[in-house]
Structure 1
Amino acid sequence: MEDVSFESEISKTFSAQKSNAILLRESTSSQRIQQLEKLGDWIKSHQEDIRKAIHADFKKPYAEIDISEIFTVTSEIKYAIKNLKDWMKPKKVSAPIPLLGTSSYVQFEPKGNALIIAPWNYPFNLAIGPLVSALAAGCTAIIKPSEMTPHASALIRRMVGEIFEPELVAVFEGDVEVSQYLLTKPFDHIFFTGSPAVGKIIMKAAAENLSSVTLELGGKSPAIIDRDIDLQDATSKIIWGKFVNCGQTCIAPDYLLVHEDIIEAFVEALKAELHKMYDPKNKGIENSKDYARIVNEKHLNRINFLLADALTNGAHIAFGGRMIASGNFFEPTIITGVTDSMEVMQEEIFGPILPIVSYSDLDSAIKYVNSKPKPLALYAFSNNQEALDRVFSKTSSGGAVANDCVLHFLHHELPFGGINNSGIGKAHGHHGFLAFSNEKAVLKQRTGITSSKSLFPPYGFAAKKIIQVMLKWF
């Protein structure tokens, strides 16, 4: 596609959606639900197409696609359909005493034109999940899927074209130039999922048009492992949370802080769980159909560099470390002896390397976490409730889970998102609906005599007395 062509097509589509967005302000819950049902029906009848497209991009196992790409979206659709009528109802609020006689409510109106910029690691889920929230809120949407997963991107474009008119939802594929041009448009809301570095670029572009943003970023999400744990239970959950999708998950445990009293036993248990999940017949993990691949050669080389740098600076491989470049295979890898001077501890790994850091007491582990930028997720494993309470009350993160990993993403009643470096705004369920909605304050005043008229000038004795009472009591 020539530059002029995509610029012209984007401008045309944006203008059409802008006009349609005004009409959608009056859309009913039934009309919005109808659009969500069409989306859900298409996904249900094209599950095999979705599986094949994502598998073609980085050999993601079908079971993982069903769980983390299809189910996450279809459950989001069902939850929105079930609750949308209640979400859309104006929320009545009581009047404070100085405003007696008025009635007020919060009206949830669509923000308007939305831009969804999706990443490659969960290419279907993280493009269509936000679309569900945008449609529920009554917005139009342009989706920019990742060029790194071309099969999934082509499928998303096909799906949207078969379901929606372009003035409601449209997809634009392409590289960074397409994203850059989209960001020049004055969208009412931008929903971006990706790295903190690119998130800063998105926010700068949004500032030019004062567009609101939801930024789902990432960072180094830690897991703190207390010495009082169920060893097999904790290690199985960590191995799954870390190595699902070949470690290419924004809320995967990025590194472990393990109490020094159990570190040797813990590493051995991790290794046993890796064998159990990915190599139960001792044929080599590279032959496992349950283990995904790195998305492309560039990221494979990036991860290999992180490991090489760590080893050069004194880290040790406890498990894994092999790479097969021809298939973008990188073995699940556990390393010990890591220090903050290593690159692997400076940036989000976003791959199948799991560094382990030992600590002597819980306060030092908490201090270590607090010395880093606030993570998207924080995990704590312990049979001691007091220890869990200390971790969660003394640290800050977008989300937190006790004795498990990543499951909070699937909980529709919980807000999902980061804080500061790991993101701005929340998503999923009602929180996603609110992200694409303007909570408009509406106050209705009666005509004739009102309490506020007693405060009009000229400010005589009575008005000043009333003001003094207000200052003292209200």
Structure 2
Amino acid sequence: MNMKLEKILQVQRAAFNASPNPSWHERKSKLVKLGKAIADNEQNFKEVISKDFGNRSFVETTMAELAIVQAGIKHALKHTQKWMRTKKASTAMQFKPAKNIIIPQPLGVVGIISPWNYPLQLAVMPLIGALGAGNRIMLKPSEYTPGFSELLKSVLGEIFLDDEIYVATGGVKVAQAFSALAFDHLLFTGSTNVGRIVAGAAAKNLTPVTLELGGKSPVIVDDSANMKLAISRITNGKTINAGQTCVAPDYLLMPQGRIDDFAQALIKKAEIFYPTFADNPDYTSIIADAHYARLQNLLEDAQAKGATLRVAGTDDSQLLAKQRRIPLTVVTNTTPEMKIMQEEIFGPLLPIVASETLENSMDYIQKRDRPLALYWFGEDKAKRDHVLNNTISGGVSINETAWHVVQEDIPFGGVGPSGMGSYHGEHGFQTFSHMKGVFLQSKFSGGKMLYPPYTDKTQKVLNMMRKFM
């Protein structure tokens, strides 16, 4: 497989070198073909993703994957031609009448390693940016969704040549070989621990990377919040895809006196959303036995260390286990020693941390790894702006969870341990482009007055120039 991947890389690089700057017509054609292929296979994608998970609502796949991908393609088709254009840049007075321009150019061959939790969205959204920027692409989807991976390989293989887009399927060894290839750019979406390994492999080739990782995304519930609205939106953000979302709310911060009522309200709302969890086609299964066991271990550890667990529903525990279903579980009386407060949860478990003031909450967040997302619920604009200006996170949604991720006109990405770089919309185009700066000298340049041999006149000209710097 290593040799095959290397061969594909060389084939793609040769194809790129033969046509290093595809026209808008060529890029548009590829984006249109991609959109049509996905639309033609919507039902197949919904079925195979659900099978890979054990169960995944067709509505969730449509809402959180298919609709987002189609919107991304539509946005790219509308704007990429403008993004491709050479741009004028300002020129300092001392260099005029010379001019500066910026030429966006494709990088070459882009590698994409995508995860299992939103397998279509997180494979195709960076693909859109890379295609629009004029690159060739090699894509490695997750081994945890083998049915989806094979379908994606088949669908893309029918409309693209291997020297345009190639999908590599397989397990960890394939992923390791893939990340070691000398791409012109590599985008990885996954856990922070694996992200470090991928970045290390890429560094050996000096391959620039975009890392979309994760972390513990906090929710601050302010006293000024509309509590009814907050409960519905937090519950939805935590239970869609059974919490298996990189920007899912990881824990809540609120005063101790409000925790019990809020926790119970979250449970009641989850039971309204999902009258049952077992055998419910609307509720997603945990992706694999190992992930299910890890989540159960987090709960057992928290309970053993004094936490209180509130579990939504009254489903039979054996049936839930058989289907790898975990209802929303709100965890209170938490302490920092609990594993659930140390690891990214990536499931429908929601700890609540007692925090009496906004400053306490912000201090708690700032002393920990910078999260991929931060959520604030409230109506006090001064407090809102204080949080926005004095916390650092990849992105933020105000009075909502997760929806900032699907906005095409703002960047999506992490910071620090939650990632580096960003994409979506024009930000994706720029990530997968080289913005080449060009200085166009005029024949009337006064630069010759700075040629050696240096004299007093040279110094006078230099002094005059420095006045304009």
Q: Structure 2 length as normaliser, TM-score?
A: 0.97
Return the match for 1:450 from 427, 431, 445.
445
1:72-92 per-position Cα deviation (integer Å, ceiling 9, x unaligned): 111100000000110000111
| Equivalent residue, structure 2, for 1:350 | 346
Q: How do 1:21-170 residues align onto structure 2 when only pairs under 5 Å count?
A: 21-58=16-53, 59-170=55-166
| Equivalent residue, structure 2, for 1:263 | 259
| Equivalent residue, structure 2, for 1:236 | 232
User: CA shift at 1:36, angstroms?
Assistant: 0.4
| Equivalent residue, structure 2, for 1:378 | 374
| Equivalent residue, structure 2, for 1:12 | 7
User: CA shift at 1:472, angstroms?
Assistant: 4.2
Whole-angstrom distance in 1 between the partners of 2:465 and 2:252: 55
Q: How do 1:53-452 residues align onto structure 2 when only pairs under 5 Å count?
A: 53-58=48-53, 59-279=55-275, 284-320=276-312, 324-447=320-443, 449-452=444-447
User: CA shift at 1:459, angstroms?
Assistant: 1.7
Aligned residues: 464
Whole-angstrom distance in 1 between the partners of 2:152 and 2:279: 30
Whole-angstrom distance in 2 between the partners of 1:21 and 1:473: 43
For residues 24 and 313 of structure 1, do their structure 2 counterparts lie closer, same or farther at Cα, with a shift above 3 Å needed? farther
Whole-angstrom distance in 1 between the partners of 2:394 and 2:88: 30
**Structure 2 residues not aligned, in runs of 5+:** none
Whole-angstrom distance in 1 between the partners of 2:49 and 2:186: 25
Letter of the structure 2 residue corresponding to residue 13 of structure 1: I
Whole-angstrom distance in 2 between the partners of 1:48 and 1:189: 32
1:405-461 per-position Cα deviation (integer Å, ceiling 9, x unaligned): 0001111001000001111001100001111000100111123x4122222222211
User: CA shift at 1:184, angstroms?
Assistant: 2.5
Q: What SS does the corresponding residue of 1:209 show, helix, strand or coil?
A: coil
Whole-angstrom distance in 1 between the partners of 2:260 and 2:173: 49
| Equivalent residue, structure 2, for 1:3 | none
Whole-angstrom distance in 1 between the partners of 2:180 and 2:188: 15
User: CA shift at 1:164, angstroms?
Assistant: 0.3
1:98·1:451 contact (CA, 8 Å) conserved in 2?
no
User: CA shift at 1:231, angstroms?
Assistant: 1.2
2:214·2:418 contact (CA, 8 Å) conserved in 1?
yes
For structure 1, which segment, 18-27 or 227-236, has the greater mean C-alpha deviation from structure 2 after superposition? 18-27
User: CA shift at 1:268, angstroms?
Assistant: 2.3
| Equivalent residue, structure 1, for 2:459 | 464
Whole-angstrom distance in 1 between the partners of 2:125 and 2:355: 38
**Structure 1 residues not aligned, in runs of 5+:** 1-5
User: CA shift at 1:115, angstroms?
Assistant: 0.6
User: CA shift at 1:466, angstroms?
Assistant: 2.4
1:361-399 per-position Cα deviation (integer Å, ceiling 9, x unaligned): 110000000011100000000111111111111100000
2:112·2:123 contact (CA, 8 Å) conserved in 1?
yes
User: CA shift at 1:176, angstroms?
Assistant: 1.1
Q: What SS does the corresponding residue of 1:252 show, helix, strand or coil?
A: coil
Whole-angstrom distance in 1 between the partners of 2:434 and 2:59: 38
Whole-angstrom distance in 2 between the partners of 1:10 and 1:46: 27
Whole-angstrom distance in 2 between the partners of 1:96 and 1:24: 35
Whole-angstrom distance in 2 between the partners of 1:228 and 1:81: 41
1:192-215 per-position Cα deviation (integer Å, ceiling 9, x unaligned): 000111111111111111111110
Letter of the structure 2 residue corresponding to residue 469 of structure 1: M
Taking every aligned residue pair, what percent have the same amino acid on both sides? 38
Whole-angstrom distance in 2 between the partners of 1:23 and 1:74: 30
User: CA shift at 1:228, angstroms?
Assistant: 1.7
2:231·2:265 contact (CA, 8 Å) conserved in 1?
yes
1:278·1:288 contact (CA, 8 Å) conserved in 2?
yes
User: CA shift at 1:261, angstroms?
Assistant: 4.0
Q: Structure 1 length as normaliser, TM-score?
A: 0.96
Q: What SS does the corresponding residue of 2:186 show, helix, strand or coil?
A: strand
Whole-angstrom distance in 2 between the partners of 1:472 and 1:314: 69
Whole-angstrom distance in 2 between the partners of 1:233 and 1:24: 53
1:240-278 per-position Cα deviation (integer Å, ceiling 9, x unaligned): 111110100000000010233432332222122111111
Q: What SS does the corresponding residue of 1:347 show, helix, strand or coil?
A: coil
User: CA shift at 1:473, angstroms?
Assistant: 4.0
Q: What SS does the corresponding residue of 1:65 show, helix, strand or coil?
A: helix
User: CA shift at 1:468, angstroms?
Assistant: 2.4
User: CA shift at 1:318, angstroms?
Assistant: 2.1
